[in-house]
Structure 1
Amino acid sequence: MKQFITAFFSLLMLFACTEKTIKKAKQQETNTDSIFLLESKWQNQEGKEILLKDLKGKNLVVVMIFTRCQTACPLLVGDMKKVKAKITEKQLKNTSLVFISVDPENDTPEVLKKYAQQHNIYGEPWILLRSDVESTREFANVLAVKYKKISPIVFSHSNIISVFNKNGEMVSQEEGTVNAEAIAKTVNELN
């Protein structure tokens, strides 16, 4: 009888450990914290339609701007350039620097492309994206970025740069005056 009880508890422990391992693996497969679960459609500066999950496999440094901005956005573009300069060459190959427009009605792919060329943020690793108003609002909510149209051509918006790992999980955010070195350090430490 004692052997039966010992065997029973051994099997029970084995089952419990196996069940925990399976549950942990399933949680990793269906991570609900990933931006790649958003099903919104986006257009890049070339007019190519993508889903956010198409960016999977690279670390992302993301900021929301609009091309007609004359105040904070040029500073954010400068901050992103500083971040790029501090990311190691090896890690830069595994990283995309992404600008998301809060003004999709104006910021067409053609406008984004021209903006990218004018500000020397054209080509790898730079990506400029736009979507519809609803998808843009959804993405802003995920980032905790607040924005509001205050005139036909001006938006008030949060100045936040977010870092995502290759699985689309947010690993850090910097708000206000951005510490480019801290953001680059975060990116450089990612797999």
Structure 2
Amino acid sequence: MKWKWMALLCMLLLLAACGAETVEEFHYTDHRGEQLSNEDLEGTPWLATFVFTNCETVCPPMTFNMADLQKDLESNGLSDYKIVAFSVDPNEDTPEKMQEYLSHYPISDESKWHLLTGYSQDEIAEFATENFKSLVKNDPNSDQVIHGTSFYLVDQKGEVVGNYDGFEQVPTEKIIKDMQELSQ
């Protein structure tokens, strides 16, 4: 069993090491039941991540980390950004479930957040791999979904320009610096 997890970790690291991508066109539904597309995000830098509401491991700390990061962005005078979290369990994550999930976190400005659903499991797996070099895979032994734990910085043109640890050691100062550079 350990070798399977090691192989999965190696694949995640390999995918993360690949170059920057421009996020392909998408039109998904957010936690408010509103449509969001990559065109809606043009001209605004955004932070992306992958989570799901039934997650028993990494998603709760990642969401807390993103909420803390948002507070730090605001305290550093950054206000022109969005936070986009793609559900990796879209069959279960309805807009209502995602709204409830988000309500459990200390979000300082919920208007900046978009938790997305409205696609199939296969679509989000392909989307994550092609656009963020991130793995999304159902765990065959549980109701959990295996996925990466990165936060991604996407610039105003829709290009992924940063990949950061979103789980254990979030490089908050580096993310703030990179976002400030995009805002100049």
Q: For the superposition of Structure 1 and Structure 2, which TM-score range results when normalised by the shorter chain?
A: 0.7 to 0.9
Q: How far apart, in 2, do the equivalents of 1:185 and 1:156 lie?
A: 30
Unaligned runs of 5+ in 2: 1-19
When normalised by structure 2's length, the TM-score is: 0.77
Give 1:138's aligned residue: 126
Q: Structure 1 residue runs of 4+, over 6 Å off?
A: none
Identity of aligned pairs, percent? Answer: 26
When normalised by structure 1's length, the TM-score is: 0.74
1:140 maps to a residue whose letter is A
The structure with the larger Rg is 1
Unaligned runs of 5+ in 1: 1-31
Indicate how the Cα distance of structure 1 residues 71 and 125 shifts in structure 2: closer, same or farther if over 3 A, else same: same
Q: Please tell me whether the aligned partners of residues 34 and 169 of structure 1 are also in contact (alpha carbons under 8 angstroms).
A: yes
Q: Quick check: 1:154 aligned with 2:144?
A: yes
Q: Quick check: 1:58 aligned with 2:47?
A: no
Q: Compare the two structures and name the one with the higher helix fraction.
A: 1
Q: Match for 2:156 among 145, 151, 166?
A: 166
Q: Please tell me whether the aligned partners of residues 44 and 130 of structure 1 are also in contact (alpha carbons under 8 angstroms).
A: yes
Q: Quick check: 1:179 aligned with 2:171?
A: yes
SS at match of 2:145: strand
Q: Which stretch of the first structure deviates more once superposed, 46-55 or 105-114? A: 46-55
Higher normalized contact order (CA 8 Å, seq sep 6+, divided by chain length): 2
Indicate how the Cα distance of structure 1 residues 91 and 167 shifts in structure 2: closer, same or farther if over 3 A, else same: farther
1:172, distance to aligned residue in structure 2 (A): 0.7
Q: What's the C-alpha RMSD, in Å, of the aligned pairs?
A: 2.1
Q: Please tell me whether the aligned partners of residues 97 and 126 of structure 1 are also in contact (alpha carbons under 8 angstroms).
A: yes
